[in-house]
Amino acid sequence: MPEERFQAFVPDFDYYRSLVACQFACPVGTDARGYVTAIARGEYEQAYRIAREVNPFASTCGWVCGAPCEAACRRGKIDSPVAIRALKRFVDDRYGVFWGEESDLPPLPWREQSPAGQSYTGVTIGLDLGNSDLPHGLRQLRRATDRREHTGKRVAVVGSGPAGLTCAHDLALLGHDVVIFEAASAPGGMLRLGVPEYRLPRDLIDLEIASILALGPELRLNQALGRDFSLADLRAEFDAVFLGIGTYQGRQLNVEGEELDGVLRAVDFLLNVNLGGYNLDLGRKVLVIGGGNVAMDVARTALRVGSPHSEASGDISLALDVARTAVRLGATEEVHCLVVEDRGEMLADPYEVQEAENEGVIIHNHVAPRRIRGQNGRAVAVETLDVARTFDDEGRFNPQLIEDTQRTWGCDSVIVSIGQTGELGWVQPEDGLEVTRRGTVAMDRKTLATTAPGVYVGGDIAFGPRLIINAVADGQRAARNMHIYLQKVEPRAVRKGWMTTIDLHDYPTRGPVPGYLRHPSKRPPEIPVDRRIGVSQVELAFSERDARVQGERCLVCTVNPVFDGDLCILCNGCVDVCPTDCLRLTPVDQVTGNETLAAVVEARLGTPLAAFHQGQMTQATAMLFDPTLCIRCALCAQRCPTDAITMETFRFSERIILEPEVSA
Amino acid sequence: MSNEPWTTRIARSRVWRSYFRHGWPDNPLDRSLVMTSGLFFHLHSVKSSRKSLRWSYSMGLGIMIVALFLILLFTGTLLMFYYIPSVEQAYPTMKEIQTAIPLGQFTRDMHRWAAQLMVLAVILHAARVFYTGAYKPPREFNWIIGVFLLLITLGASFTGYLLPWDQLSYWAITVGTNIAGYAPGIGDIVRALLLGGREVGQNALIRFYTLHIMVFPLLLIGIISYHLWRVRKDGGLAAQDADLGVDGDPSEAEATLVADTEQTASSGQPEIFPKNTSKTYGLVELMRGGSPMVGRGPEDTVFSFPVVLLLELALFLGTSLLLFVLSLLRHAPLGEIANPLVTVDPAKAPWYFVGLQELLEHMHPALAGILIPGILVIFLLTIPYLDNDRFGAGRWFTSTRGKRIALWTALYTAVVMPIYILLDNFIVPREILRGVAPEYVSQWLIPIVIIGVLVALPVLALRRWRPTPRETMLALFTVMFVAAVIFTLSGLLFRGPGFKLYWPWNMPGGYNPLSDL
């Protein structure tokens, strides 16, 4: 029987980088740890700059980001994650586009009146707080703009969603002339059309877009690809093209009656509501089919339908008045959600489901629609069968229906929300553009280049529906690679990492804030359910006190205990004192790992690892560290009698240096 | 904020924060801090091995000894306020303490019972350490320290025995010091040194008093502290070593391990540092060499706060309660004032030396009083060097075979030693051989041969099964331990007037053998 051993690895750059889980999880690499700790110390402006540096949609993300950072947050393993997104919104409200410094905005063509807010136009400098020195950081881009004349290259960006606008933002900073084509009458793409207004105020979207347009890109509204121009036209006029047109085609249920009046696709419904206002008539009883986040948005929006869209979107009292009128007029009274999956299998976040239920949405699990019944060409009921199980043994979506469990759900309208695909009717054979069976454009996942030279793609049309922040990341990556393509330069990645010792006397001020473990997690406040009407915001910002306390919950994962084996006397004090059991002193013969580990063992101890495994007489000891458990309390360093342990903070920079291509 | 728990409010108060550098210890971080930042608490480790906390392993004897010692220091100090160590004053002040001083009798009872129990606990503790193999490397030296602590404890108790200055103490000390006098060559000098003269008198009293209230307590405080410190430096209790090596009986060891894993699983806690899983650890540093602390946890440990502290408190309170009850049930004896002219019959040494007194009946006093105890002490001191294999520490009797060996040897000793005592008592070689052979044959040769054969027999029998050094030690120690018990019981319970054998319930002259305790 092989002896049981500990699997170990040698920490390297990637390892220390991945320890900062929030930053590692963010598609654009936002240093969430950086702004959260800045908030904890009351440095709100710095916090906003850190968030904004890598993300032109920092304010939008503060309101509606899917927050992969929170899912990754190590604090979640102890109690619950730091409320990273809500903290970002807290600083957005002070320094972001919504309420920040006043600036001169150009008139916005899609609005009669400019929004009342102000835009942050302070110099966004990369603050060397740690890990903000990123390749697509605004500072690097600004520097690039300062260094270069206008390149004279012209780029077309199709679609003004988060991907297209981010791409335009970065390309403009890199010195290119950008023209944005938008099919709708207002820019923003899914930000505007897909996100309900009660989650994301329209003024905020407009301000964020306005500050991007202030960098130079030209916006052309009501210009649809395939209707007003073709890809060939763009390639003839521009040096490069970015396609960020999103996915606007709702998936089909493929059941009888889908074509009836009163059956809406989720995207069409949201489009209608978000462009046309809330005075849409859905009738009294609405059925929503689907169990994803979009379905939850649809259901919650449907509940609000009937209260006409108001200019004074934030004014709750007015919205309430309007809603009372709407109820008298016969607005939506009941919204049911028919979901094939079981409650635990639903694709929507549990929190979203809970919120929908709180607001009165009734969710029915394990029912599959079989037919939509009509009367006089209008949908009046949905017939369903119960579902025994949703997924088969291989984990594929393959619902097993139970015979003779037919149920009929009466309704005034049906909204089908089971996913979207791209609309690719505009693709011509001579474009040389490959498309996939999933209804997306084929591309190189690394550079986002399509099969057509000079044509790049990003956002939902490249990968299918994802989070806003993924689209932003696509826009940045596409811009970088388009720049490389246009300027014929060779990219070279330079990565540097530093470890800085934090003196233990300074640890209470520079490490986690004392008392950090005692603060319970708190969600931002919300308005009561009975006041959630129309477009009034559901979620409110943290108070300053709450924001600071929530910020103090951060474990500051850039900080790590670092060990000096020459000083260690193997007293085991650190192992003993560690509150989370993340250290272990282990005889080397009980450790195993890859070749790197074996090489390190041999280099450090002069004896091959294999010799230890075979029971070599020389004794040696390894310190093993389980970083997933560490809470950065520094007790190990305090306990260490020989100062062999220091708390060190990891900083890194990753930059892409562009050099003229060497002619072969 | 009114909704926070009262503990948090206390921990946030100025008074709390002026002393403590941590919050209320209801979470891992503060449970760590509370142990490292307090003077008394920091004597403990932050975390304790689950195995070493098992009652069946240590039986809490070590802590109990510390508790008894503390009680002795406290009650002893109270007694010192009244007691005057002079031949004229000693007995009257004892009388005064028992009759006139509030709680005087009770204080003396507590002191006396605590002293008796401490000697007993020290002996049992030594046996526990031996039988669990906890003397093995790296703990050899702490065993040596322990042997010296045993001797000092005996000394502390013995010197206290004289202080009441009644007939019982006077004659017990006379018997005891007489044994020392039999040391070949230096006996008289040693005895004179102890007593400060030829007889037990004022000089002896003041010497015993000084030793009892100052020298031995100071030694005990110092050496017990060192002993405890050493326990932690040697890697804590040996119980944790149990599964480090392959055990003599793997099935049993496995069963314990499975139980532990289940315990962890049922508590809903994720396993700490599992081996051979997909889980990987950062190798953050390599060090040459090893230490007894390497590999100690963190898996299979609990926070010492509050579990260990509560256990200690429980042991302290339990010990106190036991002493209370004993003190209420039976007062410490105080006989007639010491009178060198009137011998008591039988004159017995304190119970822990009565085994030696019994031995005196069977051989030359130098052999019984000096040589055999000397050999026993040397045997105890050399145990960890004769058996220096790390393997098998931390488990009672090491293996099932070890358990069997200990059991059979104990039975054997419990049978042969009483037979020897009886036979030697009724067929006295000294009487039979008087005038036939020189005295050294009956007094030296015959006892040495008999005792030697009795001790060697089980060891020789064991050779058939190719014993490990540990198993040989188990046999030898068991013979010694059980023989000591037999001789002590014989001397204590079965010796009546004239130190002759009687049934305990049928002593002539109404002598009660338990009255001396």
pLDDT in tens, A366-403: 999 988 998 888 888 999 999 888 888 887 888 888 88
Instruction: Please enumerate in sequence order all residues whose Cβ is within 8 A of that of A251, keeping only pairs 6 or more positions apart, or say none.
Output: A416, A418, A419, A420, A421
Euclidean distance between CA atoms B198 and B340, whole angstroms = 12
Q: Half-sphere exposure of B142 toward its Cβ, with a 13 Å CA cutoff?
A: 26
Contact in structure between B409 and B474 (CB atoms under 8 Å): yes
pLDDT digits (tens, 9 = 90+) for B311-367: 999 999 999 999 999 999 999 988 899 998 888 888 888 899 999 989 988 888 888
Compute the distance between CA of residue B72 and CA of residue B110 in angstroms, rounded to an integer. 8
Test B283 with A10 for CB contact under 8 angstroms.
yes
Rounded Cα gap, residues B162 and B169, in angstroms: 5
Contacting residues for A618 by C-beta, under 8 A, at least 6 apart: A605, A607, A612, B288
**Nearest by Cα to A476 from A21, A28, A175, A9:** A28
Q: What share of chain B is helix, strand, coil (3-state, %, to 5)?
A: 65, 5, 30
Q: Residue A337 in contact with residue A362, Cβ under 8 Å?
A: yes
pLDDT, residue A47, reads 86
pLDDT of A272-315, one tens digit each?
A: 777 766 556 778 888 899 888 888 888 888 887 754 433 334 44
Mean pLDDT along residues A596-621: 85
**Whole-angstrom distance between the N-terminal and C-terminal Cα of chain A?**
58
At B236, list the tokens: 């804590």
Taking only residues 616 to 655 of chain A, the set having a beta carbon closer than 8 angstroms to any beta carbon of chain B reads: 618-627, 631, 633, 635, 638-639
Please compute Rg for chain B using Cα positions.
Answer: 27
3-state class of B79 per DSSP? helix
Instruction: Please count the residue pairs, one from chain A and one from chain B, whose beta carbons lie less than 8 angstroms apart.
Output: 167
Reading the block at residue B32, the tokens are 């760590």
Q: What is chain A's mean pLDDT, rounded?
A: 82
What pTM did the predictor assign?
Answer: 0.78
Backbone angles phi, psi at A267, to 5 degrees: -65, -45
Mutate to test the interface with B, among A75, A518, A557, A616 (most CBs of B within 10 A): A518
Interchain CB distance below 8 Å, A578 and B298: yes
The tokens for B311 are 């256990």
CA A201 to chain centre: 18
For the beta sheet containing A583-587, the strands, ordered from the edge strand earlier in sequence to the opposite edge, are A583-587, A620-625, B281-288, A6-9, A591-592
pLDDT tier at A106 (50, 70, 90 boundaries)?
Answer: low
| Whether the Cβ atoms of residue A182 and residue A222 lie closer than 8 Å to each other | yes
Chain A residue numbers touching B287 (CB-CB < 8 A): 565, 568, 570, 620-623
Dihedral angle, C-alpha B26, B30, B31, B36, nearest 10 °: -160
Q: What is the per-residue pLDDT for A269?
A: 84
- The two three-digit tokens of residue B287, written as one number: 């060090």
Rounded to the nearest angstrom, the minimum Cα separation between B52 and chain A is 15
Q: What residues have CB less than 8 Å from B453, skipping those under 6 apart? A: none
Q: Does A547 score more than 70 pLDDT? A: yes
Q: Are A289 and A416 in contact (CB under 8 A)?
A: yes
Closest CA to A175 of A209, A221, A213, A144: A144
| Cβ count within 10 A of residue B316 | 17
pLDDT exceeds cutoff 80 at B258: no
pLDDT in tens, A214-250: 778 899 999 999 889 999 999 999 999 999 998 888 8
Which residue of chain B has the CA closest to A578?
A: B32
Residue A324: pLDDT over 50:
no
Interface-testing mutation among B286, B291, B305, with chain A (most A C-beta atoms within 10 A): B286
Token look-up 């639903």 returns: A346
Measured CA to CA, the distance from residue A449 to residue B63 in angstroms comes to 74
The C-alpha angle B208, B210, B213, rounded to 5 degrees, equals 100
Residue A647 tokens, joined = 């708390």
Q: Count the Cβ atoms, other than its own, within 10 Å of residue B8.
A: 14
Chain A interface includes B283 (CB < 8 A): yes
For strands A645-660 and A559-563, give the pairing.
Answer: antiparallel
Nearest by CB to A575, from B278, B288, B297: name it.
B297
Residue B45 C-alpha, separation from nearest chain A C-alpha, in angstroms: 7
Residue A455, pLDDT score: 95
Contact by Cβ (8 Å): A348, A291: yes
Q: Is A161 exposed, middle or buried (0-12, 13-18, 19+ CB in 10 A)?
A: buried
Contact B29, B37 (CB under 8 A): no
> Could you tell me where the DSSP H helices lie in A540-593?
544-551, 573-577
Q: Do B284 and A625 touch (CB under 8 A)?
A: yes
Percent of chain A residues topping a pLDDT of 90: 23
The mean pLDDT of chain B is 87
Average pLDDT over residues A593-603: 89
CB B442, CB B429: distance < 8 Å: yes
Cα angle: A197, vertex A202, A207; to 5 degrees: 150
Residue by residue, DSSP assigns A13-80 as HHHHHHHSHHHHHSTT---HHHHHHHHHTT-HHHHHHHHHHT-TTHHHHHHH---HHHHH-THHHHSS
Tokens 């089971």 found at: A418
Of A133, A121, A161, the C-alpha closest to A30 is A133
Distance CA B126, CA B381 (A): 12
Cα(A548)–Cα(A284) distance, rounded to whole angstroms? 44
Q: Tell me the CB-side half-sphere exposure of residue A591, using CA atoms within 13 A.
A: 31
Closest residue of A to B279, CA-based? A7
Are A639 and B297 in contact (CB < 8 Å)? Answer: no
Q: What is the pLDDT of residues A429-445, one digit of tens each?
A: 888 888 888 788 999 98
Find out whether B49 and B260 touch, Cβ atoms under 8 Å. no
Q: Which residue has the tokens 């090491």?
A: B398
pLDDT digits (tens, 9 = 90+) for A72-99: 999 998 889 999 999 999 988 887 776 5
Q: How far is B392 from chain A (nearest CA, A)?
A: 19
| pLDDT at A449 (0 to 100) | 93
Length of chain A: 664
Quick one: angle between helices A266-276 and A293-304, nearest 10? 40
- CA dihedral (B222, B225, B229, B230) in degrees, to 10, reads 60
A498 Cβ under 8 Å from any chain B Cβ: no
Does the structure show a pLDDT above 50 at A616?
yes
Residues 23-62 of B with CB under 8 A from A: 23, 27-29, 31-33, 35-36, 45-47
Cα–Cα distance for residue pair A183/A461, rounded to 1 Å: 15
Interior/surface letters B412-436, b for 16+ CB within 10 angstroms, e for the rest:
bbeebbeebbeebeeeebbeeeeee
Tokens of B442: 């009956």
Among residues B101, B83, B96, B72, the alpha carbon closest in space to that of B323 is found at B72
Q: Is A545 helix (H, G, I), strand (E, B) or coil?
A: helix
- Of B46, B280, B288, which has the smallest distance from its Cβ to A576's Cβ? B46
Tell which residue, A376, A363, A422, has the closest CA to residue A262: A376
Q: For strands A6-9 and A591-592, give the pairing.
A: parallel
> Nearest Cβ partner of B282 from A15, A564, A565?
A15
Tell me how long chain B is. Answer: 517
User: Tell me, what amino acid is at B11?
Assistant: A
Residue A536 has pLDDT above 80, yes or no: no
Position B92, amino acid: P
Residue A623, strand partner residues: A585, B285
Dihedral (Cα; B61, B63, B68, B70), 10-degree rounding: 160
Listed in sequence order, the residues at least 6 apart from B64 whose beta carbon sits closer than 8 Å to its beta carbon are B121, B315, B319
- Interatomic CA distance for residues B40 and A476, integer angstroms: 60
Cα Rg for chain A, rounded, in angstroms? 28
Closest by Cβ to B276, choosing from A5, A568, A639? A5
Q: Summarize pLDDT for B44-95 with one digit per residue, the tens.
A: 889 888 888 888 888 999 999 999 999 999 999 999 999 999 999 999 999 9
ipTM of this complex: 0.79
